[in-house]
Structure 1
Amino acid sequence: MYLTLLPLHSLLRWLVLICLVASIICAYRGWLTKQRFSRFANFLRIMTVNVLQIQFCIGLGLYFLSPLVSYFLNNFKTGIHMREIRFFGMEHITMMVIAVGVISVGSGKINKMTDDRLKYKTMAIWFTVALLIIFSSIPWSFSPLTSRPNFRPF
């Protein structure tokens, strides 16, 4: 199962990023041009949240199946001093939980609002903050800290 979830998680991150960037562009455009909050903007918001939550569930499954995380949890005193083990055992999941929380709270706030400009502003700010958190926590292929391939084959 681990060997299936890992490439799926790696592939799905691109869909998360595409949805998130599209939502942010739509939000800033709507906010700055003072548009009405459109059905399309709401669709992007919901799609982004749903794709992110699916990715998060797959990530949680990986967390409990990963040999790196298992090593980290069973050998905490040594694992905490190993960059790659610490990244996957603690840093990556912590930052992604925060990012999912930021997007979920931001989306929930939008759902309760009636002012269209405020909806766009809220979506722009909360989703941008989450995107920055996500960007800092993905193990990019070019990262000097912990790198992984941009695309993992199945």
Structure 2
Amino acid sequence: MYSTVLALHSLVRWLVLASLLFAIFRAFSGWSSKRSFSRVDNAVRHWTATIAHIQLIFGLVLYFISPIVNYFLHNFNDAVHRREIRFFGMEHSLMMVIAIVVITIGSARAKRKLTDPEKFQTMALWFSAGLLIILSSVPWAFSPLISRPYFRPF
């Protein structure tokens, strides 16, 4: 089960990144061109937040079944001094939850704004902040600190 959820989590991260980039692009272009906030824009806002929530669910499942996190939780005094274990036991998890909260708040606030420019602006700023948090906390394959492959096989 662990390897399947890990592979799904690895795959869905690309959907999260793609949907965020697309939503941010639509938000900034709609904001700058002063176009109306269409049903498509609203669907993009909604589905971007939904995909992020699906990723959060995979991440939470992983948190509770991961041998790395299990070691972190049961050997905290030793594990907190080991970069890779601390990253997955604490740093990655906390930052990703914060990113999903930021995206969720942005989605909810954009939905409730009264004017189209306010909707685009809110979506652009909050989703961009969420994306920056995510980008800083993903264990990229090129990272010298913590690296994981771009895709995990099933």
Same fold (TM over 0.5): yes
Shift of 1:40: 1.1
SS of 2:136's equivalent in the other structure is helix
Q: Are positions 1:118 and 2:118 aligned together?
A: yes
Q: Partner of 1:9 in structure 2?
A: 9
Shift of 1:84: 0.3
SS of 2:42's equivalent in the other structure is helix
Shift of 1:81: 0.4
Decide which moves more: 106-115 or 76-85. 106-115
SS of 2:16's equivalent in the other structure is helix
Length-normalised TM-score, structure 1 = 0.99
Shift of 1:127: 0.3
Length-normalised TM-score, structure 2 = 0.99
- Residue identity in the other structure for 2:3: L
Shift of 1:136: 0.4
Shift of 1:7: 0.5
Give the root-mean-square deviation of aligned CA atoms. 0.5
Q: Partner of 1:107 in structure 2?
A: 107
Per-residue CA deviation, residues 23-53 of structure 1 (Å, 9 max, x unaligned), is: 0000000001111111111111111011110
- Residue identity in the other structure for 2:6: L
Report sequence identity in percent: 56
Q: Partner of 2:139 in structure 1?
A: 139
Shift of 1:145: 1.1
CA distance in 2, matches of 1:131, 1:145: 20
Q: Partner of 2:48 in structure 1?
A: 48
Shift of 1:114: 1.2
SS of 2:31's equivalent in the other structure is helix
Q: Partner of 2:69 in structure 1?
A: 69
Structure 2 gap segments, 5+ residues each: none
Q: Provide runs of 4+ in structure 1 moved above 3 Å.
A: none
Aligned length: 154
- Residue identity in the other structure for 1:86: R
Structure 1 gap segments, 5+ residues each: none
Shift of 1:72: 0.4
